[in-house]
Structure formats: C-alpha cells, structure tokens
Amino acid sequence: MSAKPEYVPGHGLLRGRTAVITAAAGAGIGGATARKFLEEGARVLISDAHARRLKESEQALADEFGAANVASLPCDVTDEEQVAALFALAAEAHGSLDIVVNNAGLGGTSDLVDMTDDQWSRVLDVTLNGTFRCTRAALRAFRDTGRHGVVVNNASVVGWRAQAGQAHYAAAKAGVMALTRCAAIEAAAYGVRVNAVSPSLAMHPHLVKVTSAELLAELTEKEAFGRYAEPWEIANVIVFLASGYSSYMTGEVVSVSSRHA
C-alpha cells in the first residue's frame, strides 16, 4: 500500500467565484469540495437533505473561512421546488453564480433479481434525476445572466464497469455521464462548460461505518495504490474542472481512479 499523499493547499484558482455544491454536509466528497473551493477563494452555497448536518457544516466552514463566504440551504434534489429555491438563494446570498457541483447521489446494494421498483426508482430519482434538475437550473441561470459558468457532475466508475448488486446505481451513474455529454454540447452555444468526475473508491468515516471489512478489502485490492482515495483527492480534480485550467474541456468524464481491474 502506498503512503497517503500530502494535502495540497489552495492556490486561489477560484478567487471571486460563487459555487453551489449539493450533498455537501459531512466528510464526503461534497464536504471536501466545499472546503477546497473556499481554500481556492470561492464563496459557496452548500446544500444537503440532512438539515442538522448541513447547519453544522455551514457553521464549521463559516468559523474557518468567514460567514460572508458560506451559506446553506437544505435541499432534496428530488423536489423541483427545493431545487428552484436553492438556485434563487445563490443569486440572493452571493449576487451571482459561477459554478455548480452536482454531488448528490444515493447508493444501495441489491441483486437485480431481488430489487424492488421502489429501490430502483429511489436511486435513479436522487442520483440521475436530481443531477438533471440541478443541471437544468444551472444552465437556465447561466443562459439568462450571460455568465460563462461551469457545471461539474459526480459520476462513478461503476457507470463503466459492472459490479454485482449495483444495477440501479450503475445505471444512474451511466446516465449522469450521458447527461453530462449532451448538456455540454447544448451549453457550449452560450459559453458554459459541463464535465464530470468518475471516482472509483473514495471513502470517509461515515461510509466506512456502513461498508463491511470484507467488501472494503476486496475493493481496495483492485486499486493500484492499494488504498482508497481521500475525498479531497476527488475534490482536487473538481477544482481543476471548475477552474480556468480546464477552459477547453467540456463534455468530458474524468476518471479519478487507480483501479486496474
């Protein structure tokens, strides 16, 4: 197993920009992305379906980076009214919108033969339809204000690779990839970029608690580095896609993975 890398400090890549980040409460990719964006000089509006954890996350980030740079609003991405309210607040709280990170998703494990319609539909509604709703809201905001904004979606390597028990999640993430490519072609006409990251194995304390040691060992063995990614390592690539360093990239799905099988 390779040693964990040193944390990469901010370089002001997003200075003066405003971002909406969904599912950003807690210690996962969304929370790491919010912190990274703030370190890079952005203002953030974070959302999550878990109101208590969201408020705690907002307070912690505000204490460190200043209350003027952090706002939050609970949002269930399966509810169009809540999505609309989130994007309305972005303009109200920070006066503009430059970046949207669609991180909200829902997983689960069930073999297809035993999967219920409700299990299938719930995962698809949060993971794919939620990304659609937020991407649509972002593109409307960018088009109507004339801002050359950026959307970054969170996909997954299971959108490319088969994994037992993950038919619903894999289908949703493959849909996110296709949505990203189609949205990018349409949005290019008004100067907006849409890309996605595709992580393999990124773990955090909450996820470790609900993942069996056997499954974690099996998945880790498939990674060339012999370890899972830290959430901030995925967030670093999201920063790249949100910044001017990726100005000629759109419609791309960037694998953030060391997986070799």
Catalytic residues: 169
Angle at Cα 256 formed by Cα 121 and Cα 112, nearest 5°?
25
Using an 8 Å Cβ cutoff, are 174 and 159 in contact? yes
The one-letter amino acid code at 64 reads E
Q: How far apart are CA 221 and CA 261, in angstroms?
A: 9
Residue 61, classed as helix, strand or coil, is helix
Long-range contacts of 82-89 (CB under 8 A, 24+ apart): 83/130, 83/133, 83/134, 83/137, 84/137, 86/20, 86/22, 86/45, 86/47, 86/134, 86/137, 87/20, 87/137, 87/138, 87/141, 89/45
The two tokens of residue 167 are 């038919």
Task: Classify residue 118 as left (phi > 0), alpha (psi -120 to 50) or beta.
Answer: alpha
β-bridge mates for residue 223, sequence order? 259
Burial class (CB in 10 A: 0-12, 13-18, 19+), 258: middle
